[in-house]
Structures are given as structure tokens and as C-alpha cells.
């Protein structure tokens, strides 16, 4: 980066703790690339703070601690306001119901909090010496207090520096409340900043007013804003976006101690919004805010960008940030990548009702790690989530992932009003049959997040007493209305008074057992000369080897994917009753599942040689 002739940077963009550590900021990287001739730089103070307190502790705060604690915000809350509550640890962490860390961990957190003030002074000096005209903070989830505290110090040091905030914490009423409560924030951008930020930069440099820019909140235009306030205009043509510029991140990463300990990620964006959510919003999801409308890059642009990232940042794992994979890519981008795969591995979030050939296409294209939206193994609960999938489809996907060598990272969640209690015992009884598949990455009760249908329609959904999570009032010394406007995570009670912990205990134990035995579990079949040999190495196995021949063999192989019993009978030219009689012993041995009139075999096509 080169300085302007006056020695002053045009724009300095800042990533504060506790933003993601081992990855660049996609949003700021796009903004930097879109500023044209303006001099711009991104400072990753996340990396510097990880070097200071240790990467392991940083990752615990950013990724492992319950989101409802907004632990990262507490670390910097004393540096933001002397009025921050002194009993956060006792009231939120030690006595909360989300799990209590060890006293050694709590002592580490207290030491990290003690580093906040001197760290912010170091950040301030590093910024002010560069004399930027504009400092822009990305503000998402638990990095708000660090960003606000540094912004105040910057303004105290140099009133001419223009400070602007943007990101997930700045959307709608959240952003308006930031502008109202914190006068050192000169502007807050709500919504996508790709178009509006370059315009804001030009106006600030020319001394023009920004009060009429849509989606930009200032102290002087708050009274004029619509309610709810408007967002900045969404980008419709994603192909018009520049390639993200991650050079600043990798320069700072490679120069850090943390960079020698962790493997970084490269971020790729193929789409924005969620095509499923636009049609049927999952009740628990607040990720897209008000920008649910789905837009995606053309296959050619997505392919070229992936090749560019793989070439410029060689050897780095690429994670797609898309909420959901564009299903049209199965006919365009994915076959193209399979024909000429870049030297990369890609992670993608997607729906779980995919066909086997689609999963095979992902593997061949280098998309080997996926996050399927499984969330439950109960049809009833999936309907309450509005997932649009069945439990058997979720299990089918796990089976095919094992066979094809894909790595699924998936979650189980519960706590939906009205969910049948007995479904959790049924799922607990089911899980021992699945121990050869990848277990869930996490298993926890739902959160009530802003913008989710559960929050927006809380009373109709069966929630009551909805308030910002207790952590907020210990961190921000503000009144009830202001806290409600700032909060993203909310506490609640169930109208029917249910206690989820009492009936999910068997499922939690079954998940723990699954994780414990998974490495040594297997269930696979080898087809040899008319004999289908099924080897069962699960702890629940009643027999190590089952051999199926003739009709039994063909029925089992036909159920590699979900099949209807009547269609099986028709295909085999047998009576439905005979097919059901043939399937019954295989189902009883746990080699196959039946849900209503649908069946699915659980053994995967396996090794050439039996053990």
C-alpha cells in the first residue's frame, strides 16, 4: 500500500477481536478492492490480540464459549465503559445453565480482560500514526465492544478521523442504536456496503453531507429515518463485485506467532441470501437478517474466482461463506470444476436432501467438506423447523457421505415449542444404529436470535418473556429499550413451561456414546457372486456377518437410497406382503431402517476384502 501525497491514508479498515481469527474478512476485503485508486489497508487486530493472549484462549472465546455469553464483548467491556457490571462472571458464566468453564479458564479470561486497555492503546497508536482520513470497523457478533472502545480512543486522539461501522451488528435497529448511543461513531452502515461505502468515502473526502445516503445512520439523521430504517441497496449482480483482496491478512498472518500455529482459511462467496429461506424461512435462523433474497454468481464467474483464489493463495483451504449452495450449480459450476479441478479443497453449506450423484459431483469437484442442514433426526421436529427434509433423508446423506469420502459437519438442535417429548427417546434409541456415520459436530438447545421467525413471531411460536440475554445488561450500562435494540441473542421462556434439559438427557448420552465408539464402528457390505456379505462392526451388532442371497440381496441393494415398500414390490414383481416379510429380519438386526412405508439400508458399499 502506498500513502497519499499528504502522507495520510484514505481508508483504514479494522478487524477487532473477537472476529474470526484464522480467516480474512470477506466484507472488508471486498470493500478494499472496490475503492479503486483510494489508498486502503486492513488491520487484523484479531491476530495481534491472539498473539498476546494465546491462540487457544482466543479460539475458546470466539468459537467455543456459548454465543449467549457474548464473552468477547465482556473482555473489552471495561475498556468501553467504567459502568460495566463487575459481576458478569458470577451471574453469567459461573451460574448460567450453558455449562461452566473451569476456574483455571476463568482466571485466563480475567487476565485477557486485563490486557484490553493496554492493547487498545497500542491499536490507537498504530492507527493514529498513519493519519487515516476514514477508519471503518467491521462489527459482527462479539467484536462490538472492542470496536467501540477503540473508536472512542481514535476520536479522542484525532477528531478529524471519520469513524464508520458496518456488519451484522449494524443492521436495522441495531445499527440505529449504535449511532444513537455512541457519539464517536460518525456513521453506521446498515445492510450491504458494496455500493454505498465507496460513495460515503468520496463524500467524506470532499466534505459533502452523507445524511441522505440510504442505509447510513448518523447522529444528525436519526430523527429522519423510517421505522424500521432502510438498509443500503442490495447488490443484485454479484458478478459485478471485485475479487476479494486478502493480501493484508496473509502478510500479517505470516508475520505473527499465531500464524505458525493455525492453518488459515480463504473465503469464497458464490451467493448471498438463501433460496430456501426466501420460500420457507427456517424458524431458528437469523443469519441473513433482512437480506434473504437469493442472488448468486454465474457459474463462469464463480469458477474463475475459485481458480484465482487457488492460484493467489496456494495451498489454502477454501470455505464458501454462502448460507446455502445454489442448486443450479449442480448443472453448471460443479461439473466444470470436476472437469478441470483447481488445486483446492472447498467447504460448502447445503441442504441435506441431495441425490447420490450430486454428492459424487461435489467430491469430484473438490468440495469434500460440507455442512448439511440436518438439525434433527425427527420428522415432527424438522417440520417445526420448516426444514423441508425428513429424518430418513438426513440419514441417507450421512450414509452416502461415508461411502463417497465426504466429511459432513452437522448439528443437532432442540427446544422447539410443542415438540413431542417422546421423540427424544426415540432418537436416542436410533443413534446406536448410526455409529458408523459421522456424529454431530455440536448438539445444543436452540438460541433465539434476532431476525429469526422464532424471534419475530415469538408469541405465536410459543415463546414468552423474551428479553436480551443477561450478558448484555452486564456489558452495556444502558436502559431496557436500548439493550433490546442492540441485542442479537435473546433469552426466553416457554409458554407451556417445558424443561428441555429433563427430556433431552437420553439423547445427549446417546450422542456422547456415538462420539466415543465412532472410530471403531463400521457397517459395510461386499457383493460377491450373488452373495451380499454385510459386516457389522458396530457395538450394537447382534451378528458380525449377515449373508443375503437372491431376493433378499436384491432388495437390500435396491434400498441404497430411500425406497417405498410398494415400489420395491412392484420392481421385484412380488407381493407387498412378501417384500415386507423379507425385509423384517434385516430391519430387526438394525441393518436397515423403516419409517412408515419408506425403507433405507444402512450398510455402505465397502472394502474388497472382508476383515
Higher pLDDT, 315 or 358: 358
Residue 607 reports pLDDT greater than 60: no
Type and span of the H or E element at 511? helix 500-517
C-alpha 442 chain-centroid distance = 12
Asked if the peptide bond before residue 266 counts as cis, ω within 30 degrees of 0, the response is no
CA distances from 541 to 308, 343, 509, 512, 553 (A): 49, 41, 19, 18, 19
CA distances from 337 to 194, 295, 323, 361 (A): 28, 20, 20, 9
Distance CA 275, CA 369 (A): 21
Residue range 132-160, pLDDT digits in tens: 999 999 999 899 999 999 999 999 999 99
Q: How confident is the model at residue 341 (pLDDT cuts 50, 70, 90)?
A: low
Domain 522-605 has CATH 1.10.10: yes
The pTM score is: 0.93
Q: How confident is the model at residue 606 (pLDDT cuts 50, 70, 90)?
A: confident
> Helix-strand-coil percent breakdown of the chain, rounded to 5?
45, 15, 40
Residue 4 reports pLDDT greater than 70: no
Which CATH number describes the domain made up of 264-519?
Answer: 3.80.30.20
Query: In a 3-state reduction of DSSP, which class is residue 367?
Result: coil
* pLDDT at residue 2, as a whole number: 36
Residue range 79-99, pLDDT digits in tens: 999 877 889 999 999 987 777
* pLDDT at residue 306, as a whole number: 93
Instruction: Tell me the Ramachandran region of residue 40: left when phi exceeds 0, alpha when psi lies from -120 to 50, beta otherwise.
Output: beta
Residue 216 reports pLDDT greater than 80: yes
Distance CA 408, CA 371 (A): 6
Q: Which of 33-42, 233-242, 342-351 has the highest mean pLDDT?
A: 233-242
* pLDDT at residue 529, as a whole number: 79
Instruction: Tell me what the mean pLDDT of segment 438-461 comes to.
Output: 96
* pLDDT at residue 125, as a whole number: 97
Residue range 540-598, pLDDT digits in tens: 999 999 999 999 999 999 999 999 999 999 999 999 999 999 999 999 999 999 999 99
Residue-wise burial string across 368-398, b where 16 or more C-beta atoms lie within 10 A, e elsewhere: bbbbbbbbbbbbebbebbbbbbbbbbbbbbb
Residue 161 reports pLDDT greater than 50: yes
197 touches 233 (CB < 8 A)? no
Residue 75 reports pLDDT greater than 70: yes
Distance CA 326, CA 245 (A): 24
Residue range 122-138, pLDDT digits in tens: 999 999 999 999 999 99
Residue 57 reports pLDDT greater than 70: yes
Q: At what angle do helices 45-53 and 116-128 cross, to 10 degrees?
A: 150
Distance CA 587, CA 445 (A): 31
Instruction: Tell me what the mean pLDDT of segment 96-125 comes to.
Output: 93
Return the closest-CA partner of residue 269 out of 241, 290, 291, 248: 241
325 touches 348 (CB < 8 A)? yes
Query: In a 3-state reduction of DSSP, which class is residue 379?
Result: helix
Residue 339 reports pLDDT greater than 90: no
Instruction: Tell me what the mean pLDDT of segment 402-418 comes to.
Output: 96
Average pLDDT, the chain: 93
Q: How confident is the model at residue 183 (pLDDT cuts 50, 70, 90)?
A: very high
Residue range 456-475, pLDDT digits in tens: 999 999 999 999 999 999 99
109 Cβ neighbours under 8 A, 6+ residues apart:
57, 61, 71, 75, 89, 93, 101
Strands (DSSP E) found in 7-161: 11-15, 40-44, 134-138
Parallel, antiparallel, or unpaired: how do β-strands 40-44 and 134-138 relate?
A: unpaired
Query: In a 3-state reduction of DSSP, which class is residue 65?
Result: coil
Q: For the sheet containing 598-601, what is the strand order?
A: 563-564, 598-601, 592-595
Higher pLDDT, 131 or 9: 131
Count CB atoms within 10 A of the CB of residue 132: 27
Residue 610 reports pLDDT greater than 50: no
Helices (H) and strands (E) in the chain, counts: 27, 25
Residue 389 reports pLDDT greater than 60: yes
Residue range 220-264, pLDDT digits in tens: 998 777 777 789 999 999 999 999 999 999 999 999 999 999 999
Where along the chain do its domains lie? Answer: 11-224, 264-519, 522-605
Instruction: Tell me what the mean pLDDT of segment 406-435 comes to.
Output: 97
Return the closest-CA partner of residue 585 out of 573, 576, 594: 594
* pLDDT at residue 5, as a whole number: 35
* pLDDT at residue 342, as a whole number: 62
CA distances from 79 to 61, 114, 144, 148 (A): 17, 9, 12, 9
Return the closest-CA partner of residue 151 out of 51, 48, 79: 79
**What string of H, E and C letters represents the secondary structure of 88-100?**
HHHHHHHCCCCCC
199 Cβ neighbours under 8 A, 6+ residues apart:
213
Percent of the chain at pLDDT exceeding 90 = 89
Amino acid at each position: 500500500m502506498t500513502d497519499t501525497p499528504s502522507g495520510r491514508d484514505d481508508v483504514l479498515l479494522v478487524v477487532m477481536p473477537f472476529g474470526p481469527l484464522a480467516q480474512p474478512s470477506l466484507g472488508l476485503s471486498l470493500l478494499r478492492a472496490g475503492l479503486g485508486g483510494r489508498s486502503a489497508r486492513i488491520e487484523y487486530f484479531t491476530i495481534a490480540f491472539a498473539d498476546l493472549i494465546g491462540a487457544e484462549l482466543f479460539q475458546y472465546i470466539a468459537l467455543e464459549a456459548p454465543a449467549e455469553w457474548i464473552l468477547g464483548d465482556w473482555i473489552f467491556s471495561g475498556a468501553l465503559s467504567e459502568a460495566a457490571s463487575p459481576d458478569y462472571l458470577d451471574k453469567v458464566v459461573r451460574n448460567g445453565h450453558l455449562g461452566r468453564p473451569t476456574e483455571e479458564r476463568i482466571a485466563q479470561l480475567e487476565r485477557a480482560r486485563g490486557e484490553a486497555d493496554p492493547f487498545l492503546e497500542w491499536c490507537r497508536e498504530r492507527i493514529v500514526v498513519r493519519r487515516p482520513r476514514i477508519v471503518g470497523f467491521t462489527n459482527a457478533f462479539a467484536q462490538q465492544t472492542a470496536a467501540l472502545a477503540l473508536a472512542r480512543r481514535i476520536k479522542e486522539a484525532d477528531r478529524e478521523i471519520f469513524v464508520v461501522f458496518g456488519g451484522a451488528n449494524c443492521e436495522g435497529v441495531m445499527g440505529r442504536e449504535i449511532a444513537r448511543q455512541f457519539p464517536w461513531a460518525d456513521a453506521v452502515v446498515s445492510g450491504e456496503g458494496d455500493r454505498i461505502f465507496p460513495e460515503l468515502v468520496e463524500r467524506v473526502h470532499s466534505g459533502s453531507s452523507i445524511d441522505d445516503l440510504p442505509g447510513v445512520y448518523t447522529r444528525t439523521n436519526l430523527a429522519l429515518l423510517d421505522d424500521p430504517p432502510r438498509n443500503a441497496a442490495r447488490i443484485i449482480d454479484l458478478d459485478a463485485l471485485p475479487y476479494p483482496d486478502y493480501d493484508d491478512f496473509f502478510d500479517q498472518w505470516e508475520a505473527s506467532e499465531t500464524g505458525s500455529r493455525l492453518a488459515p482459511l480463504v473465503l469464497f462467496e458464490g451467493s448471498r441470501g438463501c433460496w430456501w429461506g426466501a420460500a420457507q424461512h427456517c424458524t431458528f435462523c437469523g443469519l441473513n437478517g433482512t437480506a434473504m433474497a437469493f442472488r448468486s454468481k454465474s457459474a463462469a464467474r464463480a469458477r474463475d474466482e475459485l481458480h484465482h483464489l487457488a492460484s493467489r493463495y496456494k495451498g489454502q483451504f477454501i470455505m464458501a461463506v454462502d448460507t446455502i449452495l445454489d442448486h443450479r450449480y449442480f448443472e453448471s459450476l460443479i461439473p466444470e470444476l470436476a472437469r478441470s479441478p483447481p488445486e483446492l479443497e472447498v467447504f460448502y453449506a447445503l441442504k441435506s436432501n441431495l441425490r447420490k450423484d450430486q454428492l459424487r459431483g461435489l467430491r469430484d469437484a473438490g468440495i469434500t467438506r460440507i455442512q448439511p442442514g440436518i438439525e434433527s433426526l425427527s420428522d415432527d421436529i424438522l417440520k417445526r423447523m420448516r426444514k423441508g427434509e425428513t429424518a430418513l433423508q438426513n440419514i441417507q446423506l450421512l450414509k452416502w457421505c461415508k461411502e463417497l469420502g465426504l466429511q459432513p459437519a452437522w448439528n443437532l438442535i432442540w427446544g422447539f415449542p410443542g415438540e413431542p417429548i417422546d421423540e427424544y427417546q426415540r432418537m436416542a434409541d436410533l443413534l446406536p444404529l448410526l455409529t458408523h456415520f459421522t456424529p454431530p459436530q455440536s448438539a445444543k438447545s436452540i438460541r433465539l436470535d434476532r431476525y429469526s421467525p422464532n424471534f419475530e413471531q415469538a408469541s405465536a411460536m410459543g415463546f414468552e418473556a423474551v428479553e436480551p440475554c443477561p450478558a448484555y445488561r452486564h456489558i452495556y450500562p444502558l436502559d431496557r429499550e436500548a439493550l433490546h435494540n442492540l441485542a442479537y441473542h435473546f433469552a426466553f421462556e416457554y409458554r407451556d413451561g417445558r424443561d428441555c434439559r429433563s427430556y433431552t438427557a437420553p439423547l445427549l448420552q446417546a450422542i456422547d456414546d456415538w462420539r466415543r465408539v465412532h472410530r471403531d464402528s463400521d457397517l459395510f457390505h461386499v457383493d460377491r457372486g450373488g452373495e451380499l456379505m454385510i459386516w457389522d462392526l458396530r457395538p450394537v451388532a447382534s451378528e458380525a456377518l449377515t449373508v443375503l442371497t437372491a431376493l433378499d440381496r436384491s432388495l437390500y441393494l435396491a434400498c441404497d437410497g430411500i425406497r417405498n415398500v410398494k415400489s420395491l414390490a412392484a420392481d421385484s414383481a412380488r407381493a407387498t406382503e412378501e417384500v415386507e416379510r423379507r425385509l423384517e429380519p434385516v430391519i430387526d438386526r438394525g441393518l436397515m431402517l423403516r419409517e412408515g412405508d419408506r425403507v433405507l439400508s444402512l450398510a455402505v458399499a465397502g472394502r474388497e476384502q472382508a476383515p
